[in-house]
Amino acid sequence: MPKILMITTSADRMTPGDEPTGLWLEELTTPYYAFRDAGAEVTIASMAGGPVPIDARSVGPAGQNDASVERYLSDAALKADVAATPPFTVLDADSYDALFLPGGHGTMFDYPASEALARLVERFDRSGKVVAAVCHGPAGLVSALQPDGTPFVAGRRVTAFTDSEERAVGLDRAVPFLLEGRLRELGALHESAPDFAPFAVRDGMLVTGQNPASAARTAALVMEALGKGPA
């Protein structure tokens, strides 16, 4: 069965302010369990290593969360993994079949600035492996390049948290850029569903999802791309 590397944000603040942020938990837990339940081996790493900052807005009281988050809350092993991640740069990336970037607003502050992440995205892509991201996770694609030096997303069908969704949650002025707009500027063929509706796109081995509600569909398309799901 395939091996999947999930890399989360390590940013816990929306700089230069002090608004707390981090990983949107459902965007890790929903695909994680989908992959594991399908028999895949999953490694969780992060940008800087150590505990993954979890956006408090993505976790409610027990019994009031998405099913995957509820499962996480009683999963001691996964919670331990999330509390002590390795930095992705110490792992042997060549041993994995797919790269998955969960979102959360934290990604807007550390994914785009990471040359190491951009090079990893390029490496997976040029090896014919799956590159996937959901919601704000596509922030990890904006600095990557195609072999000819053009933006990685240019001419490719993608989706991500939309500019109208960002305005709807009131964080359009807190992020360094609007993700949909940046992807379009880079030449991406951005597609979307109505705000907050589930939507995901597969363009070859590139898979992207629009928002937290899209995590399950994104995971399903990843398994499809790996040859482990319905075509």
Kindly list the catalytic residues.
Answer: 135-136, 166
CA–CA separation, 93 vs 193, rounded Å? Answer: 33
Per-residue 3-state assignment (H helix, E strand, C coil) for 24-49: CCHHHHHHHHHHHHCCCEEEEEECCC
Tokens of 46: 């992060």
Secondary structure of residue 90 in the 3-state scheme: helix
Nearest in space to 109 (alpha carbons), one of 199, 185, 48, 181 = 48
Q: For the chain, how big is the Rg over CA atoms in Å?
A: 16
Query: Using CA atoms in the order 127, 130, 131, 133, what is the torsion angle rounded to 10 degrees?
Result: -170
CA–CA separation, 114 vs 153, rounded Å? Answer: 16
